[in-house]
A and B are shown apart, each in its own frame.
Chain A
């Protein structure tokens, strides 16, 4: 199936831990994104990479660090997790400025 995939789907961890979420797309797109969706369903862009180059970097704590090893992968590493980081994180991809297609999400719960 051609799609955007994320792992893990669920992540439960303690405050202060470091965790990573992985994203892969096999759509052949050149641009990938990370979004955060809070408990009120509000969806906000965090980062975007185009051909492994960071092009959108919103006001996000520097505990969040995206890494793009190649244009089909965009991972999100979070250091020193806080309660407020609990949310659903979505990866998306697009070909340039075209429509973005989203992955299934990773529900992060910080205890």
Chain B
């Protein structure tokens, strides 16, 4: 299958628990960050974004935290559901006139029923 030989960092959680997915980004000048969810066989799906002048943003069941001091981004998912099982990517934008995104390596979230 698609995941044979794939060794992504994996977070395994029980249904109903909260999940925290972490991401270290590389460029202190990055001005914008996005979290994407990618289900098997599908394209990345936008979840939530945050600009560098903020340190927290909340959506429906999701919260993104930004710590610029240590160049760290996290995605918190409340009351994780089986449908949340996917690979999650953080992406940073280096800034400048283009919208060039640099993606992280991805984390596989596995939700156990």
Contact = CB atoms under 8 A, between A and B. Distances in A.
Bind each other: yes
Interface of A: 4, 31, 33, 39-45, 48, 55-56, 90, 92, 94, 96-105
Contacts of B5: 39
What 8 A-B pairs are tightest by C-beta distance, nearest first? A102-B43, A43-B103, A102-B44, A97-B99, A104-B43, A41-B106, A105-B43, A56-B98
Contacts of A97: 32, 93, 99
A97 B38 CA distance: 22
Interface of B: 5-6, 8, 32, 34, 36, 38, 41-46, 49, 87, 89, 93, 97-103, 105-106
B44 A41 contact: no
Contacts of B43: 4, 90, 92, 102-105
Contacts of A40: 6, 8, 105
B101 A100 contact: yes
Contacts, number: 59
Contact of A41 (B98, B99, B105): B105
A105 B42 contact: yes
15 contacts: A4-B43, A40-B105, A41-B38, A41-B106, A42-B105, A48-B98, A55-B97, A56-B100, A90-B43, A90-B44, A92-B43, A94-B99, A99-B49, A100-B34, A103-B43
A45 B8 contact: no
Given A90-B44, A101-B46, A44 B99 contact: no
Nearest to A96: B99
Nearest to A58: B100
A104 B45 CA distance: 10
A40 B87 CA distance: 12
A27 B46 CA distance: 14
A83 to B, nearest CB: 17
